[in-house]
Amino acid sequence: MKTRKIQMTTKQLDRLMTDIHAALTEPVGDHLSDDEFIGYAMETLTAEEVQRIDEHLASCADCAEGMEQLVAASEVWRGEQGEQRLAALRQRAFGTRTLLISWSDVAFGIAAEAPTVEDGQVETEHGTLRWRKVKDQAGNLTVRFGSHAMKLDGRRLRLTAGDWQQEVTLGRVAPGQVGVETVITRDEWAQLPDDAVLSVELIREDSEAGSTS
C-alpha cells in the first residue's frame, strides 16, 4: 500500500477534527417509519431488518425513546388475551359474514315468458330464513327473505354478484315475522357476465364480534 502525504494548514486540520466529531453523534441510517416501529414492536420483521433498526436505535435517542414507549404499549396485544383483543378489533372493523346461499342459475337479465317463482329456505344461527326469487317478464329479479325467527330482526344480508353488491336489513313485515325485499333490475345485471353467481351472506354485527373466541 502506498502512503500518500497531504500537507494541511492548522485551520484545515481544526475543521477536519470538528467534522469527525460531528459524524460520530449523527444517527446511523434514516429515522424509522411507522411500519418499522410497529413491525419491530410486534416482532414481525426479518433478522436483517431487526439488525438494521438496532443499529439505528443505538445511534438515535429520539427513535429509541419512541420505540421504548411503543413496546411497552404493545404488551397489551401480546399473549392469548392480546390475540383475542386483536380478533375482536378486526371483526369490529371489517365485520364477519356467513355465506347462506349461492345461486348460480339466476340467468340474470333474461326475460321470462311468464313470471317464474322459486322458494327455499336456509338455516342460520338465529333460525330458519326463507327465501323467494321472482323473475318478472321484464327480466327483473325480486328476491324476498322472510322468517318467523324474530332474532333476525335488524340483521343485515349482503347480496353479491361479481362487482355488484347490495346490503339489506331484515325488519318487521308482519306480526311475528321479519323480512326484506330487494329488486335487482335487468339493467343492473346487464353489467355482469352471464355466468355471474349471486351469493347471500348474513353479516355479523359489531356487538357479536367481541364474543367470538
Partner 1 sequence: MSTFDDLLAMPEEWEKRPEAWQQLTTSDILFRALHEAVRSGAVSNWARLHEMAIRWRREHLDYLPERKRGGERMKWGTVRRLLWCTEQAATHPDFYRTEIDRVCFALANTPKFIKVNEAWAWVCIRTLLEAPSWWAEVPVALIDERQVDNEDSAFIATLVLEAIEGRAGQIVHHPIDGFYPCGDKEFLDSINDAWTAARALLQKQGVDVQRCDGRWRLRRRDGQPIQEVKGRSASGAAAWGWYFALTGKVPDDRVIVLAEIDSRGVLKEVGVDAKVKAIAADGRFDTIAVVSENFVEAGRTLKEAFKVGTATVDKKEIETGVVTAGVIRVVDIAKYGLVPGS
Stretch that binds partner 1, among 15-23, 57-65, 87-95, 125-133 (CB under 8 A): 125-133
Q: Is residue 103 near partner 1 by the rule CB under 8 A?
A: no
Q: How far apart are CA 75 and CA 43, in angstroms?
A: 11
**Smaller CB distance to partner 1: residue 181 or 195?**
181
Q: Which window, 39-47, 138-146, 157-165, 194-202, contacts partner 1 (CB under 8 A)?
A: 138-146
Candidates 126, 144, 156, 158: give the one binding partner 1 (CB under 8 A). 144
| CA distances in angstroms from 211 to 75, 85, 88, 203, listed in the order given | 22, 10, 8, 15
126 contributes a contact to partner 1 by CB under 8 A: no
Would you say 140 and 185 are in contact if contact means Cβ atoms under 8 Å apart?
yes
Of residues 141, 124, 146, the one with CA closest to residue 185: 141
Write the interaction track for partner 1 spanning residues 160-189; mark x where CB under 8 A is met and - where it is not.
Answer: ------------xxxx-x-x-x--------
130, 156, 158, 186: residue in contact with partner 1 (rule CB under 8 A):
130
| Binds partner 1 by CB under 8 A, chosen from 37, 40, 145, 189 | 145
Strand intervals (E) in the chain: 96-103, 116-124, 127-135, 141-147, 156-161, 164-169, 171-174, 177-184, 198-204
Q: Are 169 and 179 in contact (CB under 8 A)?
A: no
Provide the binding-site residues for partner 1, judged by CB under 8 A: 115, 117, 119, 130-132, 134, 144-146, 172-175, 177, 179, 181
